[in-house]
Amino acid sequence: MAEILGHNYIGGARSAAGQDTQTSFDACTGEALPYRFSQATAAEVDAAAQAAAAAYGQFRSLPASRRAEFLEAIADEIDALDEDFVALVCRETALPAGRIQAERGRTSGQMRLFAKVLRRGDFYGARIDGALPERQPLPRPDVRQYNIGVGPVAVFGASNFPLAFSTAGGDTAAALAAGCPVVFKAHSGHMATAECVADAIIRAAEKTAMPAGVFNMIFGNGVGADLVKHPLIQAVGFTGSLKGGRALCDMAAARPQPIPVFAEMSSINPVLLLPTALQQRGSKIASELSASVVLGCGQFCTNPGLVIGLRSAEFSAFLQEFSAQMAAQPAQTMLNAGTLDSYRRGVDRLLAHPGIEHLAGARQTAGKAQPQLFQADVSLLLNGDELLQEEVFGPTTLVVEVTDKTELLAALQGLHGQLTATLIAEREDLAPFADVLALLEQKVGRVLFNGYPTGVEVCDAMVHGGPYPATSDSRGTSVGSLAINRFLRPVCYQNCPDQLLPQALQNANPLGIARLVDGETTRDPLAG
Q: Which of residues 431-470 bind a second copy (CB under 8 A)?
A: 434, 437-439, 441-442, 444-451, 455, 457, 459-463, 465, 467-469
Minimum distance from residue 192 beta carbon to a second copy (Å): 27
Binding test (CB under 8 A) with a second copy, winner from 1, 13, 33, 143: 143
Minimum distance from residue 363 beta carbon to a second copy (Å): 35
Binding test (CB under 8 A) with a second copy, winner from 21, 46, 76, 120: 120
Minimum distance from residue 10 beta carbon to a second copy (Å): 22
Binding test (CB under 8 A) with a second copy, winner from 133, 136, 138, 512: 138
Nearest in space to 25 (alpha carbons), one of 241, 298, 333, 243 = 333
Distance CA 459, CA 482 (A): 9
Query: How many Å is the maximal CA-CA distance in the chain?
Result: 80
- Helices of type H across 94-220: 97-120, 170-178, 191-207
Give the list of residues 6+ apart from residue 390 with CB closer than 8 angstroms, or none: 266, 268, 346, 349
Q: Which whole-number Å values give the CA distances from 333 to 28, 288, 339, in the listed order?
A: 7, 21, 10
Stretch that binds a second copy, among 42-50, 77-85, 143-151, 377-385 (CB under 8 A): 143-151
Rounded to the nearest 10 degrees, how much is the dihedral formed by the CA atoms of 433, 438, 439, 444? 120
Amino acid (1-letter code) at residue 233: I
CA 26 to centroid of chain Cα atoms: 25
Residue 494 found at the interface with a second copy (CB under 8 A): yes
Catalytic residue among 90, 103, 301, 391: 301
For the chain, the residue count is: 528
CB of 18 or CB of 451, closer to a second copy: 451
Q: Which of residues 402-421 bind a second copy (CB under 8 A)?
A: 417
Stretch that binds a second copy, among 55-63, 201-209, 288-296, 345-353 (CB under 8 A): 55-63
The number of residues that bind a second copy (CB under 8 A) is: 78
Nearest in space to 271 (alpha carbons), one of 404, 408, 435 = 408
CB of 406 or CB of 499, closer to a second copy: 499
Backbone torsions φ then ψ of 480, nearest 5 degrees: 95, 165
The reply to whether 301 belongs to the active site is yes
CB of 354 or CB of 528, closer to a second copy: 528
118 strand-pairing partners: none
Minimum distance from residue 143 beta carbon to a second copy (Å): 4
Binding test (CB under 8 A) with a second copy, winner from 489, 503, 507, 525: 489
Helix axes 97-120, 170-178, angle to 10 degrees: 20
Minimum distance from residue 62 beta carbon to a second copy (Å): 12
CB of 235 or CB of 340, closer to a second copy: 235
Residue 473 found at the interface with a second copy (CB under 8 A): yes
Q: Is 510 exposed, middle or buried (0-12, 13-18, 19+ CB in 10 A)?
A: exposed
CB of 260 or CB of 346, closer to a second copy: 260
Q: Which of residues 340-379 bind a second copy (CB under 8 A)?
A: none
Binding test (CB under 8 A) with a second copy, winner from 40, 64, 150, 511: 150
Q: Which whole-number Å values give the CA distances from 302 to 59, 164, 294, 338, 418, in the listed order?
A: 34, 15, 12, 20, 9
Binding test (CB under 8 A) with a second copy, winner from 406, 500, 512, 527: 500
Minimum distance from residue 412 beta carbon to a second copy (Å): 13
Q: Which whole-number Å values give the CA distances from 72 to 119, 163, 170, 299, in the listed order?
A: 12, 16, 14, 29
Residue 428 found at the interface with a second copy (CB under 8 A): no
Minimum distance from residue 489 beta carbon to a second copy (Å): 4
Minimum distance from residue 274 beta carbon to a second copy (Å): 12
Minimum distance from residue 323 beta carbon to a second copy (Å): 27
Distance CA 187, CA 190 (A): 6
Q: Are strands 127-129 and 488-494 parallel, antiparallel or unpaired?
A: unpaired
Stretch that binds a second copy, among 172-180, 208-216, 252-260, 367-375 (CB under 8 A): 252-260
Nearest in space to 121 (alpha carbons), one of 151, 142, 146 = 146
Minimum distance from residue 442 beta carbon to a second copy (Å): 7
| DSSP structural state of residue 62 | S
8 Å CB contact between 288 and 297 = no
CB of 24 or CB of 422, closer to a second copy: 422
CB of 29 or CB of 61, closer to a second copy: 61
Residue 282 found at the interface with a second copy (CB under 8 A): no
CA 191 to centroid of chain Cα atoms: 19
Residue 522 found at the interface with a second copy (CB under 8 A): no
Amino acid (1-letter code) at residue 388: L
Residue 527 found at the interface with a second copy (CB under 8 A): no
8 Å CB contact between 226 and 259 = no
Residue 491 found at the interface with a second copy (CB under 8 A): yes
Nearest in space to 384 (alpha carbons), one of 411, 349, 419, 418 = 411
The reply to whether 264 belongs to the active site is yes
Distance CA 201, CA 206 (A): 9
CB of 338 or CB of 490, closer to a second copy: 490
Q: Tell me the three state secondary structure of residue 14.
A: strand
CB of 137 or CB of 222, closer to a second copy: 137
Binding test (CB under 8 A) with a second copy, winner from 181, 260, 282, 346: 260
Residue 524 found at the interface with a second copy (CB under 8 A): no
Active site residues: 264, 301
